[in-house]
Amino acid sequence: MSFINYSSREINCKIVYYGPGLCGKTTNLQYIYNKTNPEAKGKMISLATETERTLFFDFLPLSLGEIRGFRTRFHLYTVPGQVFYDASRKLILKGVDGVVFVGDSQMERMEANIESLDNLRTNLGEQGYDLDKLPYVVQYNKRDLPNASPMTELEEALNPTKVPQFEAVATKGVGVFDTLKAVAKLVLTELRRGS
Amino acid sequence: MGNQLVMYEEELQQINHICDVLHRDANAKAVLVIDKNGQAIAQAGEVEQLDVTSLSSLTAGNVAATGGIAQLLAEKEFAGQFHEGEKTNVHISIVGQRLILLVLFDERSSLGLVRLRVRKASNELVHVIEQLVKKSESASQPSVFAEITDADIDNLFND
């Protein structure tokens, strides 16, 4: 749910990074955080376990600049990927404006990807959202690994609706900003359509 | 996006005023009004040293998690929370199912006083929210977003 403040002339939107455990959702946010000017970002918060697995969420507030005199601010969230944190994932999807699904390209993670994508659809449905109507992009992460599945297989399994998709190596930043820009554009376009 | 929250000058002034009065009457350190999705809406008191954005997001996460616990226990919701610190205490309450009222206070105040003043402020805030929802629905104000062009959106990313 975007929040439009006519008084302070701000648009606030919420983007959620979703995907299976260890696919690189937090790594995406960390890269964005490290490469963004200090004046354009707030503090990055990670509610993680002692072994640095996301426990509840990561949060990164970003300011993108002005559009028609309105400051656009995006709040980026990740969900915990591990299967048993499903209750937490549902909470984080509340009020979402745009979704990034981060898939893990490794062959042995294909099933986990499909399970996570099904889980995303189900959890969105419970909140009254339809993934096919939301601003939504797919990122295939870890493209540099030798055991990465071919793109055609990943596309077929994870992007049947042909939304914008990006190959990424989040640890090196490849594809990270392309993904963010694509989903942010879709969110703003949707805002215009809804107005 | 039918559930979009829109804030106008007039209502924000009213919310700011309610925060100021609550801050004063409750002897609080700071008062924050936060949207349930974690967006900061208004604040009063000693907020210069606070990371309001992070505080808002974490408080909303906390309220959402507590709401999840309530559901598991077949409770509608837990309307209030209190965290006791060595120096600073936190009182969190849900207002009109949509907003969160966060009050930070220290030894200059007490939980009883804060609760009492929060109740009054909550009632006033509920009225403002109702007014705001009506206004958003009637959409008498032309939306600035209808005029946004593809070029405007592209320009945001020209770095």
ipTM surpassing 0.95: no
User: What average pLDDT does range A26-47 have in this prediction?
Assistant: 94
Q: How many domains does chain B have?
A: 1
CATH number at residue B76: 3.30.450.30
Assigned domain for B16 exists:
yes
Note the pLDDT of residue B19.
98
Who among B5, B36, B146 is closest to A195 (CB)?
B146
A74 near A184, Cβ under 8 Å?
A: yes
Note the pLDDT of residue A50.
85
The half-sphere exposure of A7 on its side-chain side, counting CA atoms within 13 A, is: 16
- A-to-B residue pairs, Cβ atoms closer than 8 angstroms: 126
Note the pLDDT of residue B136.
79
Who among A2, A90, A94 is closest to B1 (CB)?
A2
A70-78 and A10-18 beta bridge pairing: parallel
CA distance readout (Å), B154 to A136, A188, A191, B99: 18, 10, 15, 33
For residues A188 and A194, give the distance between their C-alpha atoms in angstroms, rounded to a whole number: 10
For residues B20 and B91, give the distance between their C-alpha atoms in angstroms, rounded to a whole number: 16
Task: Classify residue B86 by its DSSP letter.
Answer: S
Residue A188 in tokens: 């703003």
For residues B130 and B121, give the distance between their C-alpha atoms in angstroms, rounded to a whole number: 14
- The reply to whether residue B65 touches residue A75, judged by beta carbons under 8 angstroms, is no
Nearest residue in B to A5, CA atom: B7
pLDDT at B17 over 70: yes
**Model pLDDT for residues B111-145, shown as the tens digit of each residue:** 999 999 999 999 999 999 999 888 877 765 556 67
Q: Does A40 touch chain B (CB under 8 A)?
A: no
Q: Does A4 touch chain B (CB under 8 A)?
A: yes
Specify the 3-state DSSP secondary structure of B114. helix
Q: What percent of chain A has pLDDT over 90?
A: 83
Query: For chain B, how many residues are written?
Result: 159
Assigned domain for B1 exists:
no
For residues A81 and A93, give the distance between their C-alpha atoms in angstroms, rounded to a whole number: 13
Who among B37, B152, B155 is closest to A14 (CB)?
B37
* Element spanning B64, H or E: helix B52-72
A18 near A58, Cβ under 8 Å?
A: no
pLDDT at B1 over 60: no
Residue A136 in tokens: 């939504």
Tally Cβ neighbours within 10 Å of residue A155: 16
Note the pLDDT of residue A84.
87
- The reply to whether residue A195 touches residue B143, judged by beta carbons under 8 angstroms, is yes
User: What average pLDDT does range A32-39 have in this prediction?
Assistant: 94
Give A94 or B5, the one with higher predicted confidence. A94
For residues B65 and A157, give the distance between their C-alpha atoms in angstroms, rounded to a whole number: 32
- Is domain A3-194 given the CATH code 3.40.50.720 in the classification? no
Q: Does B36 touch chain A (CB under 8 A)?
A: yes
A98-104 and A10-18 beta bridge pairing: parallel
Q: Give me the helices (H) in chain A, please.
A: 25-35, 86-93, 110-126, 151-158, 176-194
Give A2 or A25, the one with higher predicted confidence. A25
For residues A69 and A56, give the distance between their C-alpha atoms in angstroms, rounded to a whole number: 34
**Model pLDDT for residues A39-86, shown as the tens digit of each residue:** 999 999 999 998 889 999 999 999 988 988 899 999 999 999 999 899
Q: Please list every residue in chain B whose beta carbon sits closer than 8 Å to the beta carbon of residue A57.
A: 61
Q: Please list every residue in chain B whose beta carbon sits closer than 8 Å to the beta carbon of residue A5.
A: 6-7, 12, 41
pLDDT at B3 over 80: no
Tally Cβ neighbours within 10 Å of residue B150: 11
Q: Does B152 touch chain A (CB under 8 A)?
A: yes
Q: What does pLDDT average to over chain B? A: 90
Give B154 or A175, the one with higher predicted confidence. A175
* Domain that residue B128 falls in: 9-156
Tally Cβ neighbours within 10 Å of residue A143: 18
Note the pLDDT of residue B141.
54
Who among A56, A68, A185 is closest to B144 (CB)?
A68
User: What average pLDDT does range A19-44 have in this prediction?
Assistant: 95
User: What average pLDDT does range B85-95 have in this prediction?
Assistant: 97
Q: Does B71 touch chain A (CB under 8 A)?
A: no
pLDDT band for B2, please (50, 70, 90 cuts).
Answer: very low
pLDDT at B90 over 70: yes
**Model pLDDT for residues B30-57, shown as the tens digit of each residue:** 999 999 989 999 999 999 999 999 999 9
